[in-house]
Amino acid sequence: MEALRQKVKEDGVVIGEKILKVDGFLNHQIDAQLMYDIGETFYEQFKDQKVTKILTVEASGIAPAIMVAYKFGVPCLFAKKAKPNTLNKGFYQTDIHSFTKDKTNSVIISEEFLDEHDRVLIIDDFLANGDASLGLNRLVHQAGAETVGVGIVVEKSFQQGRTRLEEAGLKVSSLCEVASLSGNKVTLVGEE
Amino acid sequence: MEALRQKVKEDGVVIGEKILKVDGFLNHQIDAQLMYDIGETFYEQFKDQKVTKILTVEASGIAPAIMVAYKFGVPCLFAKKAKPNTLNKGFYQTDIHSFTKDKTNSVIISEEFLDEHDRVLIIDDFLANGDASLGLNRLVHQAGAETVGVGIVVEKSFQQGRTRLEEAGLKVSSLCEVASLSGNKVTLVGEE
């Protein structure tokens, strides 16, 4: 994904040492062709895994996830952020802490749309400390389904996300790995 | 969009007389192939309008909007729900009342991504009273841009949305028009 790496370098805005804002093509304005190419790339990587469902969390995960789902020909399911304890009948529910927003959300998926026959590919826009993907993986387990992998658009490799996901037994594939945001500059893995 | 009409009939869950839940293919689990076909249909309808940007609001508008953007080869921009008065520098901002959730959200788009040269196609999943589309249209006007049309996946034709949008001078295209939800049953326009 050289096009993605270039965009992260050129359009990414560094805030502090840990936050990377990519509002120009992923988190606010979205490059649709890039999302399509991302869908194709994850499809190539996971096509032998008998994936039955793509799972993400609203809102920024939806654009890449829907393209992955389109390439696989399977449904895309997005976990919804809900007020805790208002909608817990018929739902799987877990708490996810957002690193960027420093806020914990309760997220839910309806029991209707995930069961023990599902083989799930989790897709998310960012991997920081891994809380979102680990939370989605908990929802998959609540349903008795299996997570076949986690596809990430931009990984901040200097944070603990990958380690935590791999410790949980998850296969992680990231399309762009950021080594550092030091000095107000995006340095990708391989560029250090 | 016969496939869409069938899905609304078969999978739509009627709540009361006014709320239609389509969590099976649009608002929670998403049918990616259907979204692609929706993208193609809106492209055919608006391809002569020199569209430069697709605008929607998070979260359920993103899936159809990204497919429309992909077909047009233009960026997709989604308005973000934000706490009022926390992020008003460099942003266009307006309030949108959600009919379904009975809640008013302040929504924003960054000034960076919309300007007076843009010709905007607004895409949304539902049209009820038109508040979301009218709010997005206000953001377009704040930017000095032009709205060339509003593409809606499911219109509840028994509510005031279309009338209000047309009174505001907007061209509205809906792919599925629901005439009534009376008697706990989905009746489409043309079926009455």
**Confidence band for B87, pLDDT divided at 50, 70 and 90:** low
Of A36, A77, A78, the CB nearest to B70: A36
Contacts of A28 in chain B (CB under 8 A): 77-78, 80, 109-110, 113
Q: Which of B61, B79, B16, B80 is nearest to B154 (CA)?
A: B61
Among A7, A52, A78, the strongest candidate for a mutation testing the B interface, having the largest count of B CBs within 10 A, is A78
Structure tokens that stand for B168 in this block: 């505001």
**Confidence band for A130, pLDDT divided at 50, 70 and 90:** very high
Among A7, A15, A25, A28, the strongest candidate for a mutation testing the B interface, having the largest count of B CBs within 10 A, is A28
**What single letter denotes the amino acid at residue A4?**
L
Span B162-176, pLDDT tens digits:
999 999 999 999 999
Q: Do B113 and A29 touch (CB under 8 A)?
A: yes
**pLDDT of B58 above 60:** yes
pLDDT reported for residue B172: 98
**Residue B156 known to bind ligand:** yes
User: Which chain B residue's Cα is nearest to A68?
Assistant: B32
ipTM of the complex: 0.96
Span A34-79, pLDDT tens digits:
999 999 999 999 999 999 999 999 999 999 999 999 999 999 999 9
User: Which chain A residue's Cα is nearest to B114?
Assistant: A29
- Look at A184 and B100; give whichever has higher pLDDT: A184
**pLDDT of B85 above 80:** no
By 3-state DSSP, what share of chain B in percent is helix, strand and coil, each rounded to 5? 35, 35, 30
**Confidence band for B88, pLDDT divided at 50, 70 and 90:** low
Question: Does residue B123 sit in helix, strand or coil?
Answer: strand
**Residue A132 known to bind ligand:** yes
Instruction: Name residue, tokens 């509003």.
Output: B150
Q: Do A28 and B76 touch (CB under 8 A)?
A: no
Q: Which residues of A touch B (CB under 8 A)?
A: 23-25, 28-33, 35-36, 54, 58-59, 62-63, 66-67, 69-70, 73-78, 80, 109-110, 112-113
Question: Does residue B183 sit in helix, strand or coil?
Answer: helix
Span A165-187, pLDDT tens digits:
999 999 999 999 999 999 999 99
**Residue A128 known to bind ligand:** yes
Q: In sequence order, what E strands does A22-131 have?
A: 29-30, 53-57, 76-82, 91-98, 103-110, 119-127
Give the CA count within 13 Å in the CB-facing half-sphere of A125.
25
| Average pLDDT in chain A | 94
Among B27, B28, B36, B103, the strongest candidate for a mutation testing the A interface, having the largest count of A CBs within 10 A, is B28
pLDDT-above-70 percentage for chain B:
96
Cα torsion angle, A89, A94, A100, A103, sign: positive
**pLDDT of B144 above 60:** yes
Query: How far is Cα of residue A144 from the mean position of the Cα atoms in its chain?
Result: 20
Report the C-alpha gap between A39 and A137 in whole angstroms.
20
**Element (H or E) spanning B105, and its range?**
strand B103-110
Region B42-47: what's the mean pLDDT?
A: 98
Report the C-alpha gap between B174 and B159 in whole angstroms.
14
Of B23, B33, B75, the CB nearest to A110: B23
**pLDDT of B98 above 90:** no
**Residue B151 known to bind ligand:** no
Span B105-129, pLDDT tens digits:
999 999 999 999 999 999 999 999 9
pLDDT reported for residue A100: 77
Report the C-alpha gap between B24 and A67 in whole angstroms.
18
Which one-letter DSSP state was computed for residue B128? S
pLDDT reported for residue B100: 77
Which one-letter DSSP state was computed for residue A122? E
* Chain A closest-CA separation from residue B25 CA (Å): 8
**Confidence band for B153, pLDDT divided at 50, 70 and 90:** very high
Q: Do B32 and A73 touch (CB under 8 A)?
A: yes
Q: Can you name the residues that pair with B14 across neighbouring β-strands? A: B20
Question: Does residue B107 sit in helix, strand or coil?
Answer: strand
pLDDT reported for residue A176: 98
pLDDT reported for residue A88: 54
**pLDDT of B93 above 80:** yes
**pLDDT of B86 above 60:** no
Question: Does residue B73 sit in helix, strand or coil?
Answer: coil
Indicate whether this model's pTM tops 0.90: yes
Of B33, B70, B109, the CB nearest to A73: B33
Question: Structural domains in chain A?
Answer: 1-178 (3.40.50.2020)
Region A85-102: what's the mean pLDDT?
A: 79
**Residue B184 known to bind ligand:** no
Contacts of B33 in chain A (CB under 8 A): 70, 73
Cα dist from B182 to B9, B12, B23, B178, B188, whole Å: 13, 13, 20, 11, 11
Q: Can you name the residues that pair with A53 across neighbouring β-strands? A: A120
Query: How far is Cα of residue B17 from the mean position of the Cα atoms in its chain?
Result: 21
Burial of B98 (0-12, 13-18, 19+ CB in 10 A): middle
User: How many Cβ contacts (< 8 angstroms) between chains A and B?
Assistant: 103
**pLDDT of B84 above 90:** no
**pLDDT of B82 above 90:** no
Among B38, B54, B66, the strongest candidate for a mutation testing the A interface, having the largest count of A CBs within 10 A, is B66
- Look at A153 and A86; give whichever has higher pLDDT: A153
Report the C-alpha gap between A74 and A116 in whole angstroms.
16
